[in-house]
Amino acid sequence: MADQTFDVVVVGGGPGGYVAAIRASQLGMKVALVEANHLGGICLNWGCIPTKALLRCSEINHLLHNLDAYGFKAEKVSYDFSKIIARSRGVAKQLSGGIAHLLKKNKVTVFDGYGKLLGKGRLDVSKDGKSIATIAAKHIVLATGARARVLNGFEPDGKLVWTYREAMTPTEMPKSLLVVGSGAIGIEFASFYRNMGAEVTVIEAVDRIMPVED
């Protein structure tokens, strides 16, 4: 038997999920949203938003080291890499909190955990491997997004091999970096680390960078 019953349950709190939940509530439905990690999805927490914060810092670093071109002089320019990373994470956290506020304002019940379909409109919510709630709904929306593919022999270890997550939360500035793929994500990271002083090499299978762009 379900602990609570809703008109709509949305599994996934990314840009598709939280917008669907808010809109359903605005249309008069009783709505729940299930999210195991961070509201806002990959873009807000681990993608386009925090990378822009990193890129802004790298742009400032580049300008400070090239002030002569603009008629300025500065000595002993340095940076605190941990603060740069912390600022990026802080931007993501702040905006994720804004989404939590929007959901609360629109009377969406949020469950912190993983959703598992049980059949017949029922769904189990678990956290740390333990069931915390069983909920039922007339309609269930799956908006779980995607994850990075891990290649055999190149499992991310945070030291030699990174995914986008490790690239956004390093403990120290690398001296060199090999970026496999020159799409938007690859070029963003290549630009950030190069402007911060690392030696960067980009590998791309086709004959130009940003191959899907006009």
Per-residue model confidence as pLDDT tens digits over 121-154? 999 999 999 999 999 999 999 999 988 788 898 8
Supply the pLDDT for residue 162: 95
Mean pLDDT in the chain?
95
Supply the pLDDT for residue 198: 97
What percent of the chain has a predicted confidence (pLDDT) above 90? 90
Average pLDDT, integer, range 112-123: 95
Which secondary-structure segment (H or E) carries 34? strand 31-35
Residue 212: pLDDT band (50, 70, 90) is confident
**Is residue 17 scored above 90 in pLDDT?**
yes
* Burial 61-95, CB ≥16 within 10 A → b, else e: beeeeeeeeeeeeeeeeeeeeeebbeebeebbeeb
Per-residue model confidence as pLDDT tens digits over 168-204? 999 999 999 999 999 999 999 999 999 999 999 999 9
Supply the pLDDT for residue 150: 87
| Helix then strand then coil, % of the chain, to nearest 5 | 40, 25, 40
Supply the pLDDT for residue 8: 98
Per-residue model confidence as pLDDT tens digits over 75-103? 888 999 999 999 999 999 999 999 999 99
Specify the pTM: 0.87
Nearest to 189 by CA among 48, 89, 62, 79: 48
Supply the pLDDT for residue 94: 97
Supply the pLDDT for residue 75: 87
Tokens standing for residue 96? 């994720």
Nearest to 131 by CA among 122, 141, 140: 122
Q: What is the dihedral of CA 178, 89, 209, 66, to 10 degrees?
A: -80
With 0-12 / 13-18 / 19 or more C-beta atoms within 10 angstroms meaning exposed / middle / buried, residue 132 is middle
Supply the pLDDT for residue 1: 62
Residue 3: pLDDT band (50, 70, 90) is confident
Q: Is the CB of residue 35 less than 8 Å from the CB of residue 110?
A: yes
Domains and CATH numbers, the chain: 4-142 (3.50.50.60), 148-214 (3.50.50.60)
